[in-house]
Amino acid sequence: ALPIFLLFLSYVIIRSAEQCGRQAGGALCPRVQRGPAPGPGRPTNLISRETFDWMLLHGNDRACPARGFYTYDAFIAAASSFLTFATTGDQATRKREIAAFLAQTAHETTGGGGWAAPDGPYAWGYCYNKELNVE
């Protein structure tokens, strides 16, 4: 599966000046590396698989079209390729950055508000990996 960041950031990269990425012969984009992030700021030191699964509470529910798409391993791989993601400040600050990212992207990938979903509609973030009702 595509890493979660590449999914969400592909829009930005595609809309860039095409100086990096697939459209530029595979040139790395600024502040992106291949391989794991160095040192103690590695995402695996900041969020456990259990916490990730709890934050994406219904991400693997049978009712979710993107079930199995957003995985902990894909998140860690993608997060590790961005040198500045969750690497500055103390540990609490780095954890807040991860939590804020997951909250924002969960909001953008849920079925939306206004429906009587168990645990509330935003607990169903990461149920979709394609835009619905695009007009």
Distances 100 to 3, 50, 84, 104 between C-alpha atoms, Å: 18, 17, 15, 6
Task: Classify the C-alpha dihedral 33-38-40-46 as positive or negative.
Answer: positive
Q: Does residue 133 lie within any of the structural domains?
A: no
Are 98 and 5 contacting, i.e. CB atoms less than 8 angstroms apart?
A: no
Q: Does residue 47 lie within any of the structural domains?
A: no
pTM of model > 0.75: no
Q: Does residue 42 lie within any of the structural domains?
A: no
Q: Does residue 54 lie within any of the structural domains?
A: no
Q: Which of 18, 50, 97, 108 is catalytic?
A: 108
Split into its structural domains, the chain has a count of 1
Q: pLDDT digit string (tens) for 13-68? A: 444 455 666 666 666 666 554 554 445 557 888 999 999 988 888 888 888 888 88
Q: Does residue 52 lie within any of the structural domains?
A: no
Active site residue 18: no
- Quote the domain boundaries for residue 114: 4-34+62-124
